[in-house]
Amino acid sequence: MEKVLSYIKDNEKRYLDELIEWLKIESISCDSTKNDETRKAGKWIADRIEKAGFENTRLIETGGHPVVYADWLHAEGKPTIMVYGHYDVQPTDPIEKWTTEPFNPTIKDGKIYGRGTSDDKGQLYTHICALEAMLKQDGKLPVNIKFFIEGEEEAGSEHSTPFVEQNKELLACDAVAVSDTAWHSKDIPTVIYALRGLCYMEFHVKGPKRDLHSGVYGGMLQNPLNAVGKLIASLQDENGVIQIPGFYDDVLPLKDEEKKEFAAIGNHDKEMMEDLGVNALWGEKGFTSLERNWGRPSMDVNGIWGGFSGEGAKTVITADGGFKVSSRLVANQNPDKIKKLFEDYINEQCPPGVTVETIYHHGGEPIMVDIDNPFLRAGQRAFEKAFGKKPTMVREGASIPITATFVKELKAAPIMVGFGLPDDNIHSNDEKLDLDNFYKGITCNALMYTEFAK
């Protein structure tokens, strides 16, 4: 291991130069005009993995963006670990809010700025660098490795998820190494053992067959936008409790030990309010902000439209309007069940004079790994050796939908040891990654695969 760690140190500049080259590829998976760039990013990382010494490396077509597969399976009697990540990135809009060019990576103040630095090219690349160092110095790996890298995580994994379901033998493994998460704060590193799921829906509220004059018709019929407001208001009460019957039926209550772990992190509500520029935090009554984010489901309106929103006044009753809403789900909840409960409730609450059309965009199941899982504990030990501080085991409020498919189809626990920070601005302007975390992340992964072998 001493030779491996020395090799990593000696090659830090090369690793960074290579990452910059990859980051320059505009792999925005949801933008069809960038399809060639997205494929180029997949081909780039496949070539890099093959150059690192892996076998059977190839792009595999899915009907959408291709997945990257590679393996090294010569550690007889040792576990098989699948390395998961994604080579696609989020769009850059609004571009005017960036202070650096999103696809021209910029280094300043010990950080690298650019789209994909933290989510997920930079974090994923730490695994490739670590495994390459082990192969180059030792000529072998302590465990068997498979790579599964997708190109549409930021677009819902529409084709990647069925690929896993249809290729269980190819992807069979004992655990999945994932670096696509962030610490709680720079001073409180964390390893994630649970992720929330997702149910994303859209509701179109339709009234008269054309827009109407609000003086001539006002007071005589249901205004679709008034109905939108009533429907949204009916979803939660003043205490933040979601009002859909049956919504909480499958929610696993937080254990006392978990509440103690969360509380040990400390209360950072004041700092969060200052950072976000709000005068209060809000959510389901009876739970702390961390408990709400990590252990309770949520519901948020993500968009509202309809009527006139231009400059000046227009006295109109619009013919239709609508809203989009997402729910983050916790362990034991099922997105298909929540979708049905949502749809039934909205139809029941729909005011007379309008109709509602429902569109279900996508969902993802929540996951929770046993906190005593040996691979999870191995990741925690490796992290402590690399960073000099034991990470706290926590849940995460966000989602990586395909991880639930790994649990369900491969029976493999996702081991989520990430190196991002909460202020990395993922999905926002000026996305960045701390370079110290990048380099130590490579070391951490080399140590982690050695720990996995035990």
Please give the full DSSP string across 208-252, using - where no structure is assigned.
SSS-EEHHHHTTSS--HHHHHHHHHHTSB-TTS-B-STTTTTTPP
Q: Where in the chain are all domains bearing CATH 3.40.630.10?
A: 2-195+366-452
Q: Where in the chain are all domains bearing CATH 3.30.70.360?
A: 197-251+297-364
Q: Which amino acid is at 58?
A: R
Note whether 159 and 65 are within 8 A (CB). Answer: yes
pLDDT along the chain (454 residues), means of 10: 97 98 98 98 98 98 98 98 98 96 98 98 98 98 98 92 97 98 92 94 98 97 98 98 98 90 90 93 96 96 96 96 97 95 98 97 91 96 97 89 94 98 95 98 98 97
- Report pLDDT for 238: 97
Predicted TM-score of the model (pTM): 0.86
DSSP 451: H
Return the CATH fold of 197-251+297-364. Alpha-Beta Plaits (3.30.70)
227: its two tokens:
């109905």
- Report pLDDT for 363: 87
Phi and psi of 207, rounded to 5°?
Answer: -120, -120
Phi and psi of 239, rounded to 5°?
Answer: -100, 10
What distance in Å separates the CA atoms of residue 114 and residue 106, rounded to the nearest whole number? 7
- Report pLDDT for 401: 83
Known catalytic residues?
88, 153
Q: Tokens 């990135």 belong to which residue?
A: 89
**Angle at the Cα of 393 (from 387 to 395), degrees rounded to 5?**
125
CA proximity to 27, closest of 78, 111, 89: 89
Secondary structure (DSSP) of 116-145: TTTTTHHHHHHHHHHHHHHHHHHSS-SSEE
Note whether 189 and 389 are within 8 A (CB). Answer: yes
426: its two tokens:
């993922």
CA proximity to 71, closest of 91, 55, 95, 52: 55
* Options 3.40.50.300, 3.30.70.1560, 3.40.630.10, 3.40.50.20; CATH of 2-195+366-452: 3.40.630.10
15: its two tokens:
């690793």
